[in-house]
């Protein structure tokens, strides 16, 4: 099928004997972002991933299970806290997958900005389909492909170094695609034009993202702090909806997940794995300047 030919044409250099050909970053900014993720090894991500082998670079949603956490005084508490943060991050990915619509084993999905590939593995395990991931980071792509080989799903799940604004996927070949906390690194018009190109008509696009709230006025100091911390450029909620509308993506569902993500942050702020960005998320979610949202849109 079309998507399969897209993946085979883009897999030149992917044979075991030939090293993958890594495209040059399109801009100096993308070079910075590739370097950032190639060097990233925060315990808050690796230790959570070690819980069950699903490595995420996104945040969590849902209520904290205080019974599972138990007594902060005992020696196993930190391990249970890490498992609980990881459970909430996986719940976030499950929630995104819930919004992809009906997907069959013959379909192809695209994870735009796939990180270490945790969501790709979950998507394949749920739908049995092919999942193609793109990231700017060669280290992340190698990590995700190694996990897929270990799980013996590398015939269906593959990550590649590729700019999500310029992918090799054929026009109309993809059943559903998503950005999980990766759309703040790109121009939204360029991004949605590319999703719209490779999605089939009737296909589904989903994003979970942090966006600044136009009702607040302008990006708050906390939003600026998050941008500086991650070298990203958070967009407003209004920009998402406008750029989708301009690119044949019609929102079907918009969910404000801010109340759902705050417990994750409040719990994370008490852990030994804090990175220093917790206060900015908690304060901006509380003062209303920043929102955590899911948008699911139909490609029309």
Which is nearest to 79 in space by CA: 64, 90, 69? 69
Rounded to whole angstroms, the Cα distance separating 203 from 125 reads 20
- 3 is in the binding site of which of ligand GPP, Mg ion, ligand SAM, none (Cβ under 5 to 8 A by kind)? none
> Which x/- pattern over 50-79 shows residues binding ligand SAM (rule: CB under 6 A)?
------xxx---------------------
DSSP-assigned letter for residue 219: -
Ramachandran area for residue 128 (φ above 0: left; ψ -120 to 50: alpha; else beta): left
Please, what is the minimum distance in Å from the beta carbon of residue 136 to ligand SAM?
4
82 and 47 in contact (C-beta within 8 Å)?
yes
Q: Is 275 in the site for ligand GPP (CB under 6 A)?
A: yes
Report helix, strand or coil for 244. helix
Stretch 211-230 residues interacting with ligand GPP (CB under 6 A): 226, 230
Rounded to whole angstroms, the Cα distance separating 90 from 61 reads 9
Q: How many CB atoms are closer than 10 A to CB 102?
A: 9
Please, what is the minimum distance in Å from the beta carbon of residue 232 to ligand GPP?
5
Q: Is 96 in the site for ligand GPP (CB under 6 A)?
A: no
Residues 6+ apart with CB under 8 A from 75: none
Stretch 163-182 residues interacting with ligand GPP (CB under 6 A): 181
DSSP-assigned letter for residue 155: T
> Which x/- pattern over 7-46 shows residues binding ligand GPP (rule: CB under 6 A)?
-----------------------------------x-xx-
Q: Is 45 in the site for Mg ion (CB under 5 A)?
A: yes
- Measure the N-to-C terminal CA separation of the chain; round to a whole number of Å: 21
Which of 49, 60, 62, 118 touches ligand SAM (CB under 6 A)? 118
Q: Is 112 in the site for ligand GPP (CB under 6 A)?
A: no
Please, what is the minimum distance in Å from the beta carbon of residue 168 to ligand SAM?
13
Alpha-carbon torsion, ordered 244, 4, 58, 87, to 10 deg: 130
Q: Which residues bind ligand SAM (CB under 6 A)?
A: 30, 33, 37, 56-58, 113-115, 118-119, 134-137, 140, 163-165, 180-182, 185-186
**Can you give the binding site for ligand GPP, defined by CB under 6 A?**
42, 44-45, 57-58, 181, 184, 210, 226, 230, 232, 234, 275, 277
């Amino acid at each position: 099928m079309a998507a399969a030919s897209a993946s085979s044409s883009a897999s030149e250099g992917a044979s075991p004997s030939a090293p993958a050909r890594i495209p040059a970053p399109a801009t100096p900014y993308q070079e910075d972002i590739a370097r950032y993720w190639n060097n990233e090894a925060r315990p808050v991500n690796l230790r959570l991933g070690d819980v069950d082998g699903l490595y995420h670079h996104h945040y969590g949603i849902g209520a904290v299970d205080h019974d599972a956490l138990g007594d902060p005084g005992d020696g196993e508490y930190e391990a249970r806290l890490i498992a609980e943060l990881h459970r909430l991050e996986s719940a976030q990915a499950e929630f995104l997958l819930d919004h992809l619509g009906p997907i069959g084993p013959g379909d192809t999905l695209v994870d735009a900005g796939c990180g270490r590939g945790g969501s790709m593995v979950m998507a394949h395990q749920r739908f049995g389909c092919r999942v193609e991931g793109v990231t700017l980071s060669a280290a992340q792509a190698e990590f995700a492909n190694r996990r897929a080989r270990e799980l013996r799903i590398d015939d269906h799940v593959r990550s590649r170094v590729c700019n999500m604004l310029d992918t090799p996927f054929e026009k109309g070949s993809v059943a559903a695609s998503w950005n999980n906390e990766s759309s703040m690194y790109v121009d939204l018009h360029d991004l949605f034009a590319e999703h719209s190109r490779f999605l089939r008509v009737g296909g589904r696009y989903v994003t979970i993202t942090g966006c600044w709230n136009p009702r607040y006025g302008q990006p708050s100091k906390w939003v600026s702090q998050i941008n500086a911390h991650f070298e990203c450029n958070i967009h407003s909620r209004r920009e998402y909806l406008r750029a989708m509308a301009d690119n044949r993506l019609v929102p079907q569902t918009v969910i404000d997940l801010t109340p759902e993500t705050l417990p994750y942050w409040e719990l994370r702020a008490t852990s030994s794995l804090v990175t220093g960005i917790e206060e900015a998320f908690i304060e901006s979610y509380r003062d209303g300047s920043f929102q955590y949202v899911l948008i699911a849109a139909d490609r029309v």
